[in-house]
Amino acid sequence: MDLETQLQPLQTQSHWVASLCCPECTGPLSESRGGLVCGRDQAFFATLSGVHRLLGHERQAQLAAATAFYCRVRADEGFQHSAELPRVPRGHAQARIWKQRARHFGRFMDWLARERPKSQSIVDVGAGCGWAAQRLAERGHRVAALDINLDPHDGLTALGEDPGRELGIERIEADMEFLPLSAACADVVLLNGALHYARCPQNVVAEARRILKPSGFLIILDSPIYRRSADGESMVKKKRREFLGRYGYAPCRDAAAGYFTLTELTRLLGRSGFDVRLVGWPSRLREMGRDVIEIFRHGRRTARFPMIAARRRSA
């Protein structure tokens, strides 16, 4: 097959292909045999194992060590794709965490059914193995799942070669700080257990706002949030000691915050052009009672995991 034939656009395109952009020049992309081609400079980007590879080589090299360490830790902790996630069998190594995540994701799905009952264009940023994207696609939403993790057990390729497109999911290897999507293409951007991994959360939030339609929503789930930074720092230091003891290595402290304070996150979203609503944060009296119990049990206050629904302001 010659190059001209290989680059010939296919006759049918998914909902998301028209919104995909070249990671090098931001030009429009169209489907060709074996991948995507940039309409501006004819650069070709392969689609392998059902995933569009839109992460530049330089950025890929920068993230390689951190991604490999993350995948190793996740594997050691028993995280991997399952068709039933977030439901897991009794006795699962991470049953407690998945029960919590199922509750939080259920809160989001209830909100979505109430606030956005019609089919939505949803970008799942930091999608991991795509379990949330699957649940959303089953409800009839059009979903783009983005991540840098391609692990066959816990990353974007865990769905296999074809099921993503059959389910209505477009899978894209991409950095959450540089989304290869055109402006105003999404009704909802979902950051599910993802934002606290960002090197620069401001960039992630700015990119989310750019790709959202006017009055679209950024939804943040399962990122640890504290009232006091001292409690967050205590958590990060504990995890760092655990990593050093187990692996002899811990990620660079400057790579990601690992948590947010409620004040800094709401201010960041407000400055970035969002109106913020917290769903699931306890009342002040209940919070104070829980603080007392947590300090007694753990020596510090533990994280809260509310749903943050941030609506994009038009101006």
Which of 140, 147, 218, 148 shows the shortest CA–CA distance to 186?
218
Task: Give the pLDDT of residue 137.
Answer: 95
Task: Give the pLDDT of residue 290.
Answer: 85
Cα(146)–Cα(164) distance, rounded to whole angstroms?
Answer: 12
Task: Give the pLDDT of residue 7.
Answer: 36
Between CA 305 and CA 139, with CA 156 as vertex, the angle to 5 degrees is 65
Q: E strand or H helix at 310, and its extent?
A: strand 307-312
Cβ count within 10 A of residue 207: 19
User: What SS3 state is found at 124?
Assistant: strand
Task: Give the pLDDT of residue 54.
Answer: 97
Domains defined for the chain, CATH in brackets = 3-48 (no CATH), 57-312 (3.40.50.150)
Residues in the chain: 315
Task: Give the pLDDT of residue 259.
Answer: 96
Q: Which residue has the tokens 């902790």?
A: 77
Model confidence, pTM: 0.92
Tokens of 75: 């594997």
Give, for all 315 residues of the chain, the pLDDT tens digit.
Answer: 333 333 333 334 578 989 999 998 999 999 888 999 998 988 999 999 999 999 988 888 888 988 999 999 999 999 999 999 999 999 999 999 999 999 999 999 999 999 999 999 999 999 999 999 999 999 999 999 999 999 999 999 998 766 556 678 999 999 999 999 999 999 999 999 999 999 999 999 999 999 999 999 999 999 999 999 999 999 999 999 999 999 999 887 666 789 999 999 999 999 999 999 999 998 888 888 988 998 888 888 899 999 999 999 987
